[in-house]
Homo-oligomer: A and B are copies of this chain.
Amino acid sequence: MADTITPRDQDYAQWYQDVIRAAKLAETSPVRGSMVLPPNGYELWQNMQGALDAMFKATGHRNAYFPLFIPKSFLAKEAEHVEGFAKECAVVTHYRLKEEDGDLIVDPDAELEEPLIVRPTSETIIWDTYSRWIQSWRDLPLKLNQWANVVRWEMRTRLFLRTAEFLWQEGHTAHATEAEAIEETRQMLDVYATFAEEWMAMPVVKGVKTASERFPGAIDTYCIEALMQDGKALQAGTSHFLGQNFAKAFECTFQNADNEQEYVWATSWGVSTRLIGALIMTHSDDKGLVLPPKLATTQVAIVPITRKNADNQATLDAAYAMRDALEASGVRVTVDDREQYRPGWKFAQYEVEGVPVRLAIGPRDVENGTVEMTRRDTSEKESVQREGIAETVGGVLESMQAALFESARQRRTDHTHVVDSYDRLKEVVEAGGFALMHWDGSAETEAEIKAETKATIRCIPFPGQFEGVDTEEAGIDPVSGEPSERRVVYAKAY
């Protein structure tokens, strides 16, 4: 009874939608571009939040909250920023509805003097606040993070990957020196990379964006890029060095130790519910969702095989005893003892929802001291001893987490190619994958390639990330014929 899932090789985009629907992660809503996140989807986001929040705190950040609305005049203060966001923002113009002739209408007498923008990102309102909070070098660094919803009016939306409203975190930090701000930008990129690899089991390339792909208002945008199963790249997180742009726009200065006024240096960095899309497209299969155990809300589902009109107490007791043992060792476990659903239905449900380990226990198992264990990623089934079940399951969860990462890493290696001609580039990005090719550093060449192939420079990678390839070696851009300082990563992207 689990919904049918279109196989990946038949229609990848449809497969993605089917997995989301069948695993109950998200759905479209009557509000154009806005998602509904049912519990399976929202709780996955909460699990990600928990892990990230701890990493932010461990690196000295605190959480705060700033207004949802941004005065129109604030957006206008940083030229590139407004250029980037004005074209796709939700504008609040009125503060009241009224009834007229039985209809509910926007009250024309309740127009705001200044329209408010629903935040697409919060640099402006935050730097306006920082300009009041920061006076002296003693107030620096100021390292805050906000968990929030944001809105960017997107015309073509796709669940998790591109929606009008999405959930995210945005870090905003203020520093006394350029070097410290750049260090922070790099540190938070590392935090994201660690989260992606250790929690999401998703390998990423770290690098810096070209000028044309930068965040509006940033001096440099650092990013992590992952390769999805269809060979397309997905930008999974960005960390921006903002220089003094926002400090200048909002007159945010501080008195340094020599009693001189200086503009404050800024960073911002964010990841969003987009990560759930990345997670799905990294690990899931034609049977549905596959989740890395560290992020699964339910890591183990125990299904007692009961019979109608029979005495099932011994089976249920054995199931509860396993649950208690697993819980005691910190495993997130549930016993599904609902009577209105049959075991087969439950198995199918846990499979499609991506619960990492399924334990089925019937009367024979009760007698034999065994339980049937099924691992979601490999579908391997085996009968294991109930004695020591916590250790057995703990080991499987760990090895599944590692195997998912290893398999994604291998896939990325298989689809990363050193490319030395334009034809080969076209081949590689068309088939799907990362192409490591020389680039002359010009926006023209970048634009030309994008126009012809739809591939973009995902990032100028940090050194030493591709085994056996020295991306730092100089060469020739095969498209323009001009000299190139290093290879960059090309791919089609989400």
Contact = CB atoms under 8 A, between A and B. Distances in A.
B31 A67 contact: yes
How many A residues are at the interface, by size bracket?
A: 35 or more
Nearest 10 CB-CB pairs, A to B?
Answer: A34-B67, A39-B62, A37-B65, A86-B97, A91-B94, A95-B153, A31-B67, A76-B104, A93-B93, A42-B65
A34 B64 contact: no
A9 to B, nearest CB: 31
Given A34-B69, A128-B30, A340-B138, A88 B93 contact: no
Chain A contact residues, majority secondary structure: mixed
Interface string A310-333: 000000000000000000000000
Given A89-B97, A92-B91, A106-B91, A36 B69 contact: no
A366 interface: no
Interface stretch (A115-123, A260-268, A281-289, A418-426): A115-123
A235 to B, nearest CB: 23
A214 interface: no
A212 interface: no
A104 B94 CA distance: 18
Interface in A35-75: 35-39, 41-43, 45-46, 62-75
A350 B399 CA distance: 46
A206 B211 CA distance: 60
A116 B96 contact: no
Interface string A69-109: 11111111000001000111111111111110000101000
Contact of A31 (B31, B65, B70, B98): B70
A449 interface: no
A69 B67 CA distance: 16
A95 B88 contact: yes
Contact of A90 (B62, B116, B144, B148): B116
A4 interface: no
A271 interface: no
Interface string A3-47: 000000000000000000000000001110011111101110110
Contact of A144 (B39, B72, B74, B98): B39
Given A92-B118, A93-B93, A116-B31, A38 B64 contact: yes
A68 B104 contact: no
Given A35-B67, A37-B65, A67-B36, A92 B90 contact: yes
Interface in A102-140: 104, 106, 115-118, 125, 128-129, 138
A31 B69 contact: yes
Contacts of A91: 92-97, 106
A355 interface: no
21 contacts: A29-B66, A34-B68, A35-B65, A36-B66, A36-B129, A37-B65, A41-B64, A42-B65, A68-B165, A72-B104, A76-B104, A82-B97, A82-B104, A89-B95, A90-B95, A91-B93, A91-B95, A92-B118, A96-B153, A97-B117, A118-B118
A31 B39 CA distance: 33
A151 interface: yes
Contacts of A30: 71, 74, 125, 128
B89 A165 contact: no
A194 interface: no
A157 interface: no
A74 to B, nearest CB: 8
A161 interface: no
Contacts of A67: 29, 31, 34-36, 165
A64 B46 contact: no
